Amino acid sequence: MPKIIGLTGGIGSGKTTIANYIASLGVPVYIADDAGKKVMQTQEILEAIKEQFGAAVFDENGLNRAKLAAIVFENPDKLKALNAIVHPAVRQDFNNWLIQYKEAPIVVYESAILFESGSYVNFDCILTVTAPLETRINRVLERETISREQVVNRINAQWTDEQRIVKSDFVVENIDIDLAKLKIDEILKILSIKQ
């Protein structure tokens, strides 16, 4: 079995950029958010979401993720309820994905809510990506059509960098991408040696 690295960081930290860099080095990377979007298209999950949140989060095109996000990021209990529906399906999807890479020395599982979901306990080590708060806010505003207040609400719905760092084996500050990549190279070398 491969060594499983949990990769996390708050919204706008650049963890997906780091995950893509790691993947470019030939390390298999599982993006939990992509898997979540995929499982949320299955009939079973859609029915569970409709039962929990009602028809208001659906429109003529099906599930309206923006409406759902607006609800769950305003209400921690609603977010927990959504996670209780989606996380078991993502966990199963990851286990199926892992079978393809059972010969790989290292695989990476990337998730913004590794700690909040409790799934961090399943990994051999945790790598947290950080960035200054304003940098994170600006990155999200550049890529999504949401308000600053909505970004701050999402940040506040997640653990703080300080909370993540305490439970992490490695921390990469992602302000300068070239420096962050060098740090990733060092970490991967350390993990390869520890095999």
What would the pLDDT profile of 43-83 be if each residue is shown by its tens digit?
Answer: 999 999 999 999 999 999 899 988 998 898 888 899 889 98
Torsion of CA 183, 185, 186, 189, to 10 degrees: 160
Please compute the mean of the pLDDT values over residues 96-112 and round it to a whole number: 94
Task: Specify burial of residue 127 (Cβ count, 10 A radius: 0-12, 13-18, 19+).
Answer: buried
Average pLDDT, whole number, for the chain?
92
d(CA 75, CA 78): 5
Q: Which two tokens stand for residue 174?
A: 């992602």
pLDDT at residue number 167: 96
Over 60: is that where the pLDDT of 195 sits?
no
Q: 3.30.70.270, 3.40.50.300, 3.40.50.970, 3.90.226.10: which CATH number matches 3-193?
A: 3.40.50.300
Please name the helix (run of DSSP H) or strand (run of DSSP E) that holds residue 108, with its range, or none. strand 106-110
Annotated binding site for ATP: 12-17
Strand, coil or helix: what is 15? Answer: helix
Over 90: is that where the pLDDT of 171 sits?
yes
Q: Residue 98 in contact with residue 107, Cβ under 8 Å?
A: yes
pLDDT band at 119 (very low <50, low <70, confident <90, very high): confident
Which range of 30-34, 67-71, 109-113, 125-129 scores highest in mean pLDDT? It is 125-129
pLDDT at residue number 194: 62
Q: How many CB atoms are closer than 10 A to CB 68?
A: 18
Annotated binding site: 12-17
Please compute the mean of the pLDDT values over residues 28-42 and round it to a whole number: 92
Q: Considering the chain, what percentage of its residues have pLDDT values greater than 70?
A: 98
